[in-house]
Structures are given as C-alpha cells and as structure tokens.
C-alpha cells in the first residue's frame, strides 16, 4: 500500500475560508497578476524534494513549456501535503494544479478546492483507459480531475521456495491457500526450523490497511461494499459472497495459521521486511516494491503473479493512482487544462514513465496509445499493466470513502484477532455502521 489519508473533517472557520478561497484564490503562487492563457502555472506534486521523481516532474514541466510557451514551475512537497494545501487555500495562494492521489478526490471536492472538468472537452480524453476516468468521478457524477497515473497490485511469490517444494503456480484460491500452507509447514528455506509462513498481510487498522488488503478478495469473491448508486446506496458488505471471503481470511489466520505472526498490528513499513527477509512467501503489493526487493532479496528469488480468479469467477483487483487536479481560482484556466492534457497525453505519459528508472511518476500509463513494453524493458511491469486493464477496480464512489474503509478495517481486524468470532455477525454489524455513514453522507436512506 502506498497511500496517504487526508483529514476527514475541518473546523467551521477553516471550511468557510476554503470556500471563499476557492472563488478568489491566487493562481500561480509566483506573484503573477496579469492572468490570461500565458500566465505562469504553479504545480504542486506529492513527491520528496530532491528526489528523482521530483526531477521527472520538472522535466515534464519543461517539456510542456517548450511545447506551449506557458511557464510552469513545479514544487515538490511530501510531508504534511494536505496541511500545506489547506494553509495555501486560507491564504488565497492555491497552486494552479496539483498531482495527487485519486483517493483525495472526495476531500478536495468537499472542501471546494478543485473545479469541475468537462470530460468531453479534454483533448485526448477519449484515448484514456475508461477505468482511469472512474477515479476522477465524484459522488455527484461529475469529474474533478484528469487521470495521470495508475497502479494496481499483484502477488509477489517466493519462486525459489515454490520450486523447491515442487508446487505449481496457483491458478485458483484453493491452490493459493495450499501454497501458503506449504510455505508454512514444509520448511521451504531448508534451515530445519518452523520459521516461515505463507501470507504477508498488513492487517493493522491504521489507515484502514486490512480493508485495503481485503478489498480485492471481496470483489473477486463476487461480493461488494454497496448496491445501488448515487443517493440510493445500500450496504452489501454482509452478503453471502462477502461473508465467505471474510471466513477464508479468518481461516488463514486461525485454522491454517499461514499468516506471518503479528499481522494484526502490522502496516507496510513492517510487512515489507517480512517478505524480503524470508519470513513470509506471498505478498499482495504494488510494483513500487520491485526495485526494493530486487536489491534486498534478489530478482531471481521471487516472481510476480496476478491474483487468481475467486469463487465469483473473476479477479477484481484494487486500483489506485494519481489525478491531475485543476485548482479553483486559477488565473489561467486554459493553461490548467492544457497542462492536464499534456500529462495524460502520449508525450507526458512516456516521459513520466521514465523507463526502468526510479524516477518514474507514471507507474502504469492511463493512455491507450502508450505501449508499456516499448518504454520499460522489465517485463514484470506488464503483469501489473494487464491486471489494471483487465481487472482494475477503484474504491467505491462516495463523498468520503475513509470512514467506510476504517470501519471495515476495524471489523475485519477484530474478526481475525478473535478466532471465536463469527464472520456473518461481524459483517452484519459492519453493514449497520455502513448504513449510518451513508445517511451521514446523504447517500442512503
């Protein structure tokens, strides 16, 4: 998981300040007062200052300026990004654009910081993968961003362990569980000790990690969080398929005991080392970990496999990524749109992918005209690209997803921590919490 969760509420005073700033904010942050379609653009990106990813964004800005004549300046911020954005809003000094997580869409819309995007007027918008547009659509059905980068998740599996034990690559969930059990019980590292396990799971409630992990299994089982859409959503998280998926998760912890110990309190900063040091052999995670594991574990020791289809007959895997958001009040709205179009276009996507280097800011291209294999020679990226295009699915479209994810993580965490718990009862209670939150957000009765 590579996520940052923004605050879910603001004081009334700040909310008023943000609403006013959305109408009167100074675009550019560079002192420009002339406006017009050549006014400088200020772009904030959520990247560490001084990093190779910051440099890639600066290269993108330079290429845009060369192509259009519109000055563009990139500011990289990482720590406290949302706080700094709120401060800029209160001071009426919003940047013209930000490149930030798709998960921030609901919060940005609720705060009034972004302006609507007419999808039909985005040059090249019809070339973007349809799924990528889902991440730019808010609960009101309107679009408030332009897709820029995507990512999804796949299984990192200890290939050396699997081959030593003579087990074939799993093609369904029963085989996947059997492989996890084999890694737990058959000493795949050959040290004569019972110190290896199957699944590496970030199972903490912090930031909703366990729900983040479980979502792909929920969908692939044929289950879902909600039925209906818009203002007529109803909880589905206690449906038969969802309960079966939750029971399978609980059995991994309580019956098979194939999950690395300590998972119920672990976030990704703790789970990454468990895979790379040989404590666990199956890890559902993202492509950003390949460079790390290649160095720490060795590229030849593990393989990347798509999540097999579940009992629902398909594989539906969580998709995430980044949008380009056009901030409200810019002096150069035409330039804003031009920049977003450039980033999602062929040149921007190709430059943003940065080959096989650590400077990539486009993990998976959202533009159908860009062939990943022509830019990256590491064929493992193609597994993630195929998963995204064929199976990628974004979190449900509600005003604010964070309360649902947190409630789900807490319910699931309590379930796997208590082996006497009943998944049907746990999810039934969770469905009630979902109903309350839907009413709070004006999306349920």
Beta bridge partners of 155: 284, 305
pLDDT digits (tens, 9 = 90+) for 331-358: 999 999 999 999 999 999 999 999 999 8
pLDDT of 13 reads 35
Residue in 245, 222, 246, 226 with CA at minimum distance from that of residue 313: 222
Q: Distance between CA 98 and CA 95 in Å, rounded?
A: 7
pLDDT score for 30 = 38
Helix (H) or strand (E) holding 332: none
**Position 25 confidence tier, pLDDT thresholds 50, 70, 90:** very low
Question: What class does CATH assign to 154-318+399-440?
Answer: alpha beta
For 148-197, write each residue's pLDDT tens digit: 999 999 999 999 999 999 999 999 999 999 999 999 999 999 999 999 99
CATH 3.40.190.10 in the chain is located at 12-151+320-393, 154-318+399-440
The two three-digit tokens of residue 161, written as one number: 């362990």
Q: Which CATH class is domain 12-151+320-393?
A: alpha beta
**Interval 89-143: pLDDT, tens:** 999 999 999 999 999 999 999 999 999 999 999 999 999 999 999 999 999 999 9
Considering the entire predicted model, what is its pTM?
0.89
Distances (CA, A) of 352 to 23, 42, 76, 145, 291: 31, 18, 15, 18, 17
Q: What's the rounded Cα separation, in Å, for the pair 184 and 259?
A: 8
What's the confidence (pLDDT) of residue 34?
Answer: 55
């Amino acid at each position: 998981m590579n996520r940052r969760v923004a605050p879910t509420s603001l004081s009334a005073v700040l909310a008023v300040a943000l609403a006013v700033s959305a109408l009167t904010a100074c675009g550019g942050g560079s002192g420009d007062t002339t406006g017009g379609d050549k006014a400088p653009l200020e772009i904030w990106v959520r990247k560490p200052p001084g990093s190779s990813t910051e440099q890639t964004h600066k290269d993108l800005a330079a290429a845009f300026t060369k192509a259009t004549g519109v000055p563009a300046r990139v500011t990289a911020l990482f720590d406290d990004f949302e706080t700094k954005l709120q401060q800029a809003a209160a001071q009426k000094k919003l940047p013209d654009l930000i490149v930030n997580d798709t998960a921030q869409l609901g919060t940005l819309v609720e705060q009034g910081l972004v302006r609507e995007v007419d999808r039909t007027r985005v040059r090249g918008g019809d070339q973007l993968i349809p799924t990528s547009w889902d991440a730019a659509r808010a609960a009101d059905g309107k679009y408030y961003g332009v897709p820029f980068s995507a990512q999804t998740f796949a299984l990192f599996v200890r290939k050396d362990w699997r081959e030593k034990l003579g087990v074939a690559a799993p093609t369904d969930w029963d085989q996947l569980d059997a492989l996890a059990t084999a890694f737990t019980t058959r000493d795949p590292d050959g040290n004569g000790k019972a110190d290896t396990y199957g699944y590496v799971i970030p199972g903490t409630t912090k930031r909703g990690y366990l729900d983040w992990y479980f979502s792909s299994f929920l969908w692939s089982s044929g289950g879902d969080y909600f039925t209906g859409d818009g203002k007529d959503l109803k909880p589905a998280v206690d449906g038969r398929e969802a309960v079966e998926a939750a029971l399978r998760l609980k059995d991994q912890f309580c019956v098979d005991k194939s999950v690395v110990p300590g998972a119920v309190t672990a976030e990704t900063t703790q789970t990454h080392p468990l895979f790379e040091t040989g404590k666990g052999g199956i890890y559902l995670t993202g492509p950003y970990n390949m460079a790390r594991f290649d160095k720490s574990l060795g590229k030849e020791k593990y393989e990347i496999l798509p999540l097999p289809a579940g009992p629902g007959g398909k594989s539906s895997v969580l998709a995430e990524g980044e949008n380009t958001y056009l901030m409200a009040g810019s002096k150069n709205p035409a330039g804003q749109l031009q920049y977003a179009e450039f980033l999602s276009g062929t040149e921007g996507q190709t430059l943003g992918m940065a080959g096989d280097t650590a400077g990539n800011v486009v993990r998976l291209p959202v533009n159908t005209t860009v062939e990943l294999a022509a830019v990256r020679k590491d064929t493992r990226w193609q597994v993630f690209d195929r998963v995204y295009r064929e199976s990628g699915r974004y979190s449900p479209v509600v005003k604010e997803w964070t309360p649902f994810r947190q409630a789900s993580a807490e319910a699931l965490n309590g379930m796997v921590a208590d082996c006497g718990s009943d998944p049907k009862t746990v999810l039934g209670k969770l469905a009630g919490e979902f109903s309350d939150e839907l009413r709070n957000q004006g999306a349920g009765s």
